[in-house]
Amino acid sequence: MDKLDAAFAALADPTRRAILTMLLEDDMAVTDVAEPFDMSLAAISKHLSILAAAGLISQEKRGRVKWCKLEPDALKDASVWMQGFGQFEPVNLDAFERFLAAELGGAEADEEGAAQAP
């Protein structure tokens, strides 16, 4: 998998996008990253491994604690690729996901309304 594919695959998951947003603030210990999520530490570690494999974060051990750090230049290739289409401004993936959910949710509501119409 090339770097661009790995970045988009990592960004496809909302948990991983939320982790990246958290790491915008500062480096965090793995346990602190896991705190707001309703999942096991092992599941968070798997998400972190995917982000690290994509080069979006780095991890280092400080004493007995594993720390995560955002790698800000890691999304440069993805940004350059999207801007190459000429019609894209910097993309807010969370806003795009909300848009898709609203559009798909609206389509489902329209279908249900049509099915119930006499």
Helix (H) or strand (E) holding 73: none
pLDDT digits (tens, 9 = 90+) for 30-42: 999 999 999 999 9
Average pLDDT over residues 104-118: 54
- Residue % of the chain over a pLDDT of 70: 83
The residue ranking higher by pLDDT, 113 or 14, is 14
Please name each of the domains of the chain with its CATH number: 3-112 (1.10.10.10)
Residue 110: pLDDT over 80: no
- Whole-number Å distance between alpha carbons of 58 and 48: 9
In the beta sheet, which residues pair with residue 28?
68
